[in-house]
Amino acid sequence: MCSLPYTFTDNTLFNTIDLIDVLFNNIEQEKQIQNSLSIALAPLWYGAIWLFILFTKDQKIPISFLHALQCPYSQDKVLVISCERGILPDNIHDHLQLTHFSTLQLNSSFYFNSSYDFTQSVAWFRLLPNVKCLYVNSTELKHWFTSDDNRQQFLNTFLGRLDRLYIDCEPLINMNQNEEIILPLLSFIINKQRFPNLKYLRFINCKYISSSWVNINKWIEFIFIHINQHQLQCLRFDFIEKEEKIPDVKTIDEIINITESLCIIDIQRFISEDYISYWIERK
C-alpha cells in the first residue's frame, strides 16, 4: 500500500486507483500502518466529491480497504457502489463507520434475479450512518418491499434517515411493468413511519415509450390522496424519452389548494417538456 505511485496534494487528481487489488500489509507488527491509512489518504478524500467503488461477484472486502475509506475531517461526500456489493467482513459496522458520506448511489442491473444479495446491501447501509440522500433503481427497490428478510429492520433504520430519494425508473419500459409496480412501490414509500424525514421524492429517467407512463395521474393522485401519510415538499418526474406528450396532464403551471386534510396545503405545479414537478407547502 505504501508503494502506490501517487502523491496526494491540493491539485485535482484525475486517476483511477484500484485499492481493492492492493496487497495490504497483514503482518502483525505493521497493523499500525493499516490503522493510519485514513490519515495517509485524507488529502485525497478531502478533495474528492464522488467515490465510485466497483466490485466483482463474491469479492471479499478487506478491513484495511474500509479503513482506507475513512475520512473523519471531511463531510458530504457521494459514494457510488456497483451492482455487485462485495462481501463485507462480519459485523464490521461494530468496528468502524464511514461517516463522511451523505449521499449513496446504488448502481443496479435492470434485471435482478434470485441471486440478488439483500444481505450485503443492508451491510453497507449499516456502515453509512450519515446518508441522507439515496439513488436507487426501481428494480432493486422492488426487492426491498417484497423481501421478508429478518434484516428489514436495519433497512428501515437506514430509510428513516433519508430526506431525499431518487428512483431510477428507466427499467419501466411498458405499461404492464408500470402497473405492476405502482401500488406496492408507492405504498412502500408514502409511509411516514418508514420515511419520517423524506422531503424530496424524484422519479428520474422515466421513459414514456410503449405507453409506459400513460397512467402518470395514478402516481400523482395516490401521493396527494395520501397527503397526510408523508412530509414531502417536492415531487418530481423527469423524462428522458417521449414518443408523444404525456396524457391527461395540464400543460400550464398553477397553484392547487387542498383543504380536506388536517391543514391547508398549497401545491404549485411546474410543467416543462422534460419534467413535471410539484412543490408542496403546508400551512
**pLDDT tens figures, 154-211:** 999 999 999 999 999 998 888 898 999 999 999 999 999 999 999 999 999 998 877 7
Specify the pTM. Answer: 0.83
In a domain, 184, yes or no: yes
In three-state secondary structure terms, 176 is helix
Q: Give the alpha-carbon dihedral of 49, 240, 253, 233, to 10 degrees.
A: -40
In a domain, 206, yes or no: yes
Domain count for the chain, please give it. 1
Distance CA 124, CA 88 (A): 8
Residue 222 lies in a domain: yes
**Residues spanned by the domain of 134:** 28-248
Any domain includes 225: yes
- Following CA atoms 161, 165, 168, 173 in sequence, which dihedral angle do they give, to the nearest 10 degrees? 110
pLDDT digits (tens, 9 = 90+) for 127-156: 999 999 999 999 889 888 877 667 788 999
pLDDT of residue 35: 53
The amino acid sitting at 232 is: L
| Inside any domain, residue 105 | yes
